[in-house]
Amino acid sequence: MTLDSVASSAPHRRRWLVPAIAALGVLVLGIGGTLLVLRMLSPDTIAVRGEVHLVGDANVLGSAADCRGSGPYGDLREGAEVVITDATGTTVGVTALQRGTVENPGYGTPECTLTFSAAVPADREFYGVAIAGRDRVQFTKAQMGSIKLEIGR
C-alpha cells in the first residue's frame, strides 16, 4: 500500500460521519422535545407526609421500634394501605404505612406513630386521605405537607 492509496481511501471511510452526526442531532432534539412536552402536560406534584398517632394502652401493641394498633385498631400497622383522593373521590395516590415507633415507652400512656409519604398532583384544592379502608379525612392543599391524625383518645 502506498501513501497515495492510503490518502485516497480516507475520505471513503469518513462518509458515514456527517450523516451519523446529523442523525444524532435529530435524536437529541427529538428526545429533548418529547421531554419538554411531557413536562408541560404533566402537573407538578406535592410531597405528602403524614403521621397516624395511636394513643392508649389498649390500642397499642409491639415494641418501641415496631408498634401497631390493637383491638379495633389492629388494622393500623406497617403495610396498611393509604389511599389519597381528590375532592371528587378520584384516587390520586396510593402508599402504605411505615413501621410504627412508640413515644413515651414505659412512661405514661404509650403512643404509636406510623408514618406515610407520597407524591400527588398539585393541581387540586382539596384531598382526602383514607387509611386501612377507614373513612377518608379531608385536607386542603396547604395541609397536605404535614398531615397528623390521632386515634384512640
Is the pLDDT higher at 81 or at 18?
A: 81
Distance CA 151, CA 153 (A): 6
Mean pLDDT of the chain: 82
The 10s digit of each residue's pLDDT in 25-69 is 666 666 665 555 445 445 699 999 999 999 888 888 888 888 999
Number of Cβ within 10 Å of residue 88's Cβ equals 9
Q: Give percent above pLDDT 90 in the chain.
A: 51
Distance CA 118, CA 11 (A): 57
The structure's pTM equals 0.69
Highest mean pLDDT pick, 21-30, 72-81, 98-107? 72-81
